[in-house]
Structures are given as structure tokens and as C-alpha cells.
Homo-oligomer: A and B are copies of this chain.
């Protein structure tokens, strides 16, 4: 594809040789001649000089203009232009529509037009699968589960009974939706009685959930993940949690039972949020934090337990220097003793 055509498709302003033939997209360091690269983060600008790429997607940068070793696609939003470029060269192939004969579709299940259902899929009675949805091999769809249109369900996913999945939802391999919540009532003899967990799980439109993540169902009410939210791998969403719209939850984070997460929240990796708390809209949670209390909308918290991010950074710097701080305190103590001695 000629660079001129790519610039057109991505809506970028082209500077340099419009006729160069582009064969793919690669990183600044790995790109070779004929490839397109990008700089989405100003701190990588210094690597631009040494790239072997034939063209680079570049945002307007404050400060000094970098030396340009190749053609440039100028844009306001280099990361989105990069996404578009990757799409142009994507090797993705859609499985052909059809149902593999080894799959088990229960009588009473309904399947929309143009679906692709792979080998050894099991779909339970009363379940429905929307139009053009792709279901890869070894997926299990439980009784009366409802899956919308244009979804992509990767291998070994479990969608349990009565779970509702919206349109354009992407579930990576091994995801579990609708497993029983962790709810037990302690008995007088110390044993734990299971509270039946049979209520609803709803995954709204345009949600994506990463590999081997799990979303539990509650005893009452519902667990809901709202439209446009993106969840990474190995994340745990407990029973009765409500996750807002356009939320990002990075890998190995967890949300305990009955907690509410507002719209546009961002949760960095390996964080945990306690049960029965409210995380306001637009909150940011730093990596490996433990959020034990409700957080006001718009706040940025970090730490275990989590508090204001800027304060946490300051406290962490002092934590690192605690040995020298303690030494100083010991020295002050000695000086005071000396002063006391003089004044005795």
C-alpha cells in the first residue's frame, strides 16, 4: 500500500515521499525499510533518529522539532492513527459462517444468521446466539444464556446459565461468566453454609474481557459490567459488583462483592478494591493498590491501603529513606541529651 493511500485512510497530513510502498507496521526499533512506525509517547522521540522505518506516525510535539529520518504522517492523535494502521495490515481472518458438526446445540437453542460456531462447542437449551457472532472451539454456553450480535467468544470460555451478553462483546480464552459468588453464612458450629448464588450477570455492549478472567453471579440482584468497559487478563469481578461505562481494569486486579465502580474509572494492574465500597466516576487507582474505602469521583489514589496518589508518592520516597531518617532521629536524641546535660 502506498504511503499516500495510508495517509488518506488514516486522515493524516503526509510529509515526504508519498509513493513509498508500505508493507507493515512495526516499533521504532524493530521497523525495517518499507515499514511504518509511530511515536505515541514523547519520551520515545529520541529513538526516532535511529529508526529504519520508511515512515512514522507523529503527533504535534511541544518543544523542539525532532530530526525526521523518514516520511511523516502528522496527526492530532497518533495512537488512534496507529490503531488504524495496524487494522489496515491486520492478518486477522474471520472463520467462515457455519456450525461445526461436532458442536452440541441443544434443541431449543437459537442461533442467529451468519454465526460461526467452531468444533466441540456446547450450547444449552434455551440459549440464544445473535447474528454474526463467532464462537471458537470448546466454548460452553449454559441454559437460557443470551449472547448478542457480532460478539467474539474465544476458546474454553464458560458462559453460565441465564447470563446475558450484549452486542460486540469480546471474551478472550478461558473467561468465566456467571460462576457462583463467594457467599457463605458462618454457622454456630464454625461451618459455612452456602448461600445459593443464582441471580443475574449482565455484560453490556462493547465490553471486552481478558483471558482467564472471572465474573461471579450474586445471590440477589445482579453483577453488571456496563457498556464499553475493557477488562484485562486474570481479573476477578465478585458477586453483585457494578462496573460503570468505559472503565479500564488492568491485569490481575480484583473487585470484591457488592462494590460499585463509576464510569470512566481506570484501575492499574494487581489492584484490589474491597467489598461494599463506592468508587466514584473518573477515579484512577495506581498499580498494586488496595482500595479499602469509598473514593470520591475524580480522585487518584494509590497504596495499600490506598490514599491520595501524590501524597503516596511523597510518603514512598520517605519510606525508602526511613533508615537514614531513623539515624537522624537518633542523632537528634543524642544532641538533646547533650543540651540537657549542659543545662543541668
Residues of A within 8 A of B (CB): 24-27, 30, 77, 79-80, 82-83, 86-87, 90-93, 100, 102, 104, 118-120, 122, 124, 136-138, 140, 142-143, 154-156, 158, 160-162, 170, 172-174, 176, 179-180, 182, 184-188, 190-196, 198, 206, 208, 210-212, 214, 216, 219-221, 228, 230, 232-234, 236, 238, 246, 248, 250-252, 254, 256, 264, 269-270, 272, 274, 287-288, 290, 292, 303-305, 307, 311, 314-316, 318-323, 325-326, 328-329, 332-333, 335-336, 339-340, 342-343
Q: How far is the CB of A236 from chain B (nearest CB, A)?
A: 4
- On whether A193 and B80 interact (CB within 8 A), knowing A140-B137, A230-B182, the answer reads yes
Q: Which of B86, B185, B233 contacts A79 (CB 8 A)?
A: B185
Q: Which of B26, B206, B305, B321 contacts A220 (CB 8 A)?
A: B26
Q: Which of B79, B186, B212, B325 contacts A186 (CB 8 A)?
A: B79
Q: Looking at chain A's contact residues, is the secondary structure mostly helix, strand, loop, or mixed? A: loop
Copies of this protein in the complex: 3
- Nearest residue (CB) in B for A313 is B305
Alpha-carbon distance A83/B252, docked complex (angstroms): 30
* B315 and A319 within 8 A (CB): yes
Interfacial chain B residues near A161, Cβ < 8 Å: 93
Interfacial chain B residues near A233, Cβ < 8 Å: 176, 179, 182, 214, 216, 236, 238
Interfacial chain B residues near A216, Cβ < 8 Å: 210-211, 233
